[in-house]
């Protein structure tokens, strides 16, 4: 366990703003050089789906924000393995490491936050 804060996103994109606002929190931590990781869990794995186009609903395409995560200093991205399979996201994504969000996983982090 290090000092890293794990930000969990378990809501699908575009239907509400919770994931965006969680991402803003993660980016803020990174901007202040605090270690932060992201976990996409449950319906939140749909953030990682290829081929998104937010313009269709007049929102920003969230996967683009995500692409910038590493640039912003968010070092680790994780995806819920079972949820990826459930939503047909079987390919390994370049962005995220597949994990099982069990107690052992959560304990790798100093703090766990979800909105």
Binding residues for another protein, rule: CB under 8 A, are 1, 5, 10-18, 21, 24-25, 28-29, 31-32, 34, 41-43, 46, 49-61, 85-88, 101-104, 106-107, 111-115
Nearer Cβ to another protein, position 39 or 77?
39
Quickly tell me which residue has 């270690």 as its tokens: 35
- Residue 30 neighbours by CB under 8 Å, 6+ apart: 36, 72, 73, 74
**In the complex, least distance from residue 52 CB atom to another protein, rounded to whole angstroms:** 4
**In the complex, least distance from residue 71 CB atom to another protein, rounded to whole angstroms:** 18
Cα–Cα nearest to 22, from 46, 13, 82: 13
**In the complex, least distance from residue 69 CB atom to another protein, rounded to whole angstroms:** 16
Calpha distance 12→86 (Å, rounded): 14
């Amino acid at each position: 366990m290090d000092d890293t804060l794990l930000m969990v996103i378990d809501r699908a994109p575009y239907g509400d703003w919770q994931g965006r606002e969680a991402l803003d929190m993660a980016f803020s931590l990174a901007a202040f050089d605090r270690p932060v990781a992201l976990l996409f869990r449950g319906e939140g794995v749909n953030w990682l789906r290829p081929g998104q186009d937010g313009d269709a609903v007049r929102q920003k395409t969230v996967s683009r924000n995500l692409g910038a995560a590493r640039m912003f200093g968010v070092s680790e991205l994780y995806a819920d393995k079972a949820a990826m399979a459930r939503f047909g996201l079987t390919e390994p994504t370049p962005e995220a490491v597949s994990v099982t969000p069990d107690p052992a996983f959560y304990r790798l982090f100093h703090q766990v936050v979800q909105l």
